[in-house]
Structure 1
Amino acid sequence: MHFDLADLRLFIHIGESPSLTQGARRAFLSPAAASARIKALEGQLDTRLLYRDSRGVELTPAGHKLLKHARLIMNQVEYLKAEFTHFGTDSAGHIRIFANTTAVTEFLPEVLAGFLAKRPGVTVDLQERLSRDIVRGVLDGSTDMGIIAGPVEAAGLQVIHFSTDRLVLIVPVGHELAKQKKVTLKQTLAFQHIGLHEGSTLLSFLRDHVERLGQNLSLRIQVSSFEAICRMVEAGVGIGIIPESAAMRHSRTMHLVTLSLDEPWAVRERSILVRELDALPGTVRALIATLMPDEDTKSG
């Protein structure tokens, strides 16, 4: 069975587009030419890959399976090009990263700034995603690497631990919880919270734990960053749960009280997810090395 890389690339474009016409446009083909290529691919595989109707196209179960493999194949082709074009160096290339809220807003900007400043030929696509989407993205080849916090079920992936953080509660000075050394999540639910925006990893994580308590998380306002949460808390608008690293940084310039969360899930291991570390191009491996506290990477 022979696969044309151009056909696989076309199928990826169509699979990621709402219509065959838009997918064909991304591949610089006419809709008729794209349709003929897909029909030929279906004939070669002896299976239907797309459902076609007046609203557009939708992948069949076989189409979803082919999309996953096509992405992986094309990723490896791009890795191969990068390795040999630049002789395995980390001076050029494109890195795709799916990461949780804390990574995107807290430490990655600083890490990437230093990394990219030394490598003008490198570009990065950084996207904030939920943990389950990060795992799925690494598995199906949508991203080169994922960054998550907390326990993860990632069969078939390498999990590389690189740091530890913990979630804490911040309250304004004078708040009735301020004299406590530590509190449980249930204790905090008697007060209105300041939360992150919808779709953020941390908000989804907290809601899951609140639901397990059979209660609701009362959000007074949702904002886009940990700094904004801290400013709202300082002003007395509500209380908030954020990473300790963010609380420590913003406490230097704001009047906040930080309390330990007496919950087993408050301590969170930060991990990098990859399919196979040694198969990644030099650029991606160099970024992973930059994130590590030392030269060693532990995989499991």
Structure 2
Amino acid sequence: MWQIDQVTLRLFIAVCEEGTIARAAEREFIAPSAVSRRLADLEALVEVALLLRSQRGVRATAAGEALLRHARLIMRGHERLQAELSEYAAGARGHVRVLANVSSMVEFLPEALSVFLKANPRIRVDVEERVSAEIVRGLEEGVADLGICRDVVPMGSLDVLPYRSDHLALIVPRDHALAGETEIGFEQTLAFEHLGLSSNASVNALMQRIALEKGGELNYRTYVSTFDAAYRFIQAGLAVAILPREAVSRHAADEYGLAVIPLRDAWAQRRFVICMRDRHALTLTATHLLDHLLSTRTA
């Protein structure tokens, strides 16, 4: 059985990421000759070429790419083990890493985590915002325990559990021509310039495709990166926006003078899922958080 030590794996990752042995050696504070020797010994051990060498540098072969994926998982797992043991040594009960999309962080995740952390003050939860596709990739690479994202992206081999839903609505100033509508069809919004959320690429692409299918065109005047910025642009009358109605609180609607008009289209109801590499391989702390989140899920 192969026995590849962590130093060799770390050097292999560095070479693949840096593209040259010299830069990898500089990054890892080791002589280039020592890096070359480690790589040669590694290829001899596995009996297959892992790197293609040229005057421009090096790049991984197909076998090297496979090793790189596993090496990253092993090194991240080791780092997570060290971090979790350090948490226990410091008196904490555990540490959970969560990747979440922006909608979940605006609509419900802070409240759900607040309840959990108040009941479990010695558990640490780190949350990082990413778009849904990057959440899936991050979980596959082992950088987090749990992910909260949309169900519209391919999930690969991840374990996936249904979680919550939200509903898209047209957001306009209260003096807008459509402000008095109780609900609206998407095609009626195409006569107006739209505002897009840059972090909402999947729904932007979906709406553009639907607009074309209906024989219209969705015109984006500009994009913003936060909901607060969107509210200010809408308040100023620069554009209308289609956003989750759950993200527009009564306070925000009153503060910015916004009308929230639900879309009647079936696709306007969207679903969140919780995903993970392997539910049965979660730490006890991550399982505890997962159970709490599932206990708060809605239809």
Q: TM-score range by the shorter chain?
A: 0.7 to 0.9
Q: Which residue of 2 aligns with 1:259?
A: 261
Alpha-carbon offset, residue 266 of structure 1 = 1.7
Q: Which residue of 1 aligns with 2:158?
A: 157
Instruction: Work out whether residues 162 and 293 of structure 1, in 8 Å CA contact, stay in contact via their aligned partners in 2.
Output: no
How many pairs align? 289
Matches within 5 A, 1:29-68: 29-68=30-69
TM-score, normalising length: structure 2: 0.80
Matches within 5 A, 1:111-122: 122=124
1:238-280 CA-to-partner distances (Å, cap 9, x unmatched) read 1011112212342142211111122322212211110112322
Matches within 5 A, 1:10-159: 10-78=11-79, 80-81=81-82, 86=88, 91-93=93-95, 95=97, 97-108=98-109, 122=124, 124=126, 126-129=128-131, 131-159=132-160
Alpha-carbon offset, residue 70 of structure 1 = 1.9
Q: Distance in 2 between matches of 1:48 and 1:275?
A: 29
Q: Which residue of 2 aligns with 1:239?
A: 240
1:124-160 CA-to-partner distances (Å, cap 9, x unmatched) read 361413x333223322324433221234432422112
Matches within 5 A, 1:193-204: 193-197=194-198, 200=199, 202-204=200-202
Alpha-carbon offset, residue 79 of structure 1 = 5.1
Q: Of residues 273, 277, 291 in structure 2, which corresponds to 1:275?
A: 277
Unaligned runs of at least 5 residues, structure 1: none
Q: Distance in 1 between matches of 2:92 and 2:268?
A: 36
Alpha-carbon offset, residue 165 of structure 1 = 1.5
SS in 2 for 1:183: coil
Instruction: Work out whether residues 83 and 282 of structure 1, in 8 Å CA contact, stay in contact via their aligned partners in 2.
Output: no
Q: Which residue of 1 aligns with 2:286?
A: 284
Which protein has the bigger helix share?
2
1:149-197 CA-to-partner distances (Å, cap 9, x unmatched) read 2344324221122322122111111322223332333332221111123
Q: Distance in 2 between matches of 1:30 and 1:188?
A: 63
1:29-88 CA-to-partner distances (Å, cap 9, x unmatched) read 33332232222222222223233445544332222211222233334444555666639x
16-25 vs 64-73, greater mean Cα deviation = 16-25
SS in 2 for 1:134: helix
Instruction: Work out whether residues 15 and 59 of structure 1, in 8 Å CA contact, stay in contact via their aligned partners in 2.
Output: yes
Unaligned runs of at least 5 residues, structure 2: none
1:4-44 CA-to-partner distances (Å, cap 9, x unmatched) read 23222333334344544444444443333223222222222
Larger radius of gyration: 2
SS in 2 for 1:133: helix
Q: Distance in 2 between matches of 1:151 and 1:166?
A: 15
Question: CA distance change for structure 1 residues 68 and 229 in 2, over 3 Å: closer, same or farther?
Answer: same
Question: CA distance change for structure 1 residues 58 and 177 in 2, over 3 Å: closer, same or farther?
Answer: farther
Question: CA distance change for structure 1 residues 94 and 158 in 2, over 3 Å: closer, same or farther?
Answer: closer
- CA RMSD, Structure 1 to Structure 2 (Å): 3.3
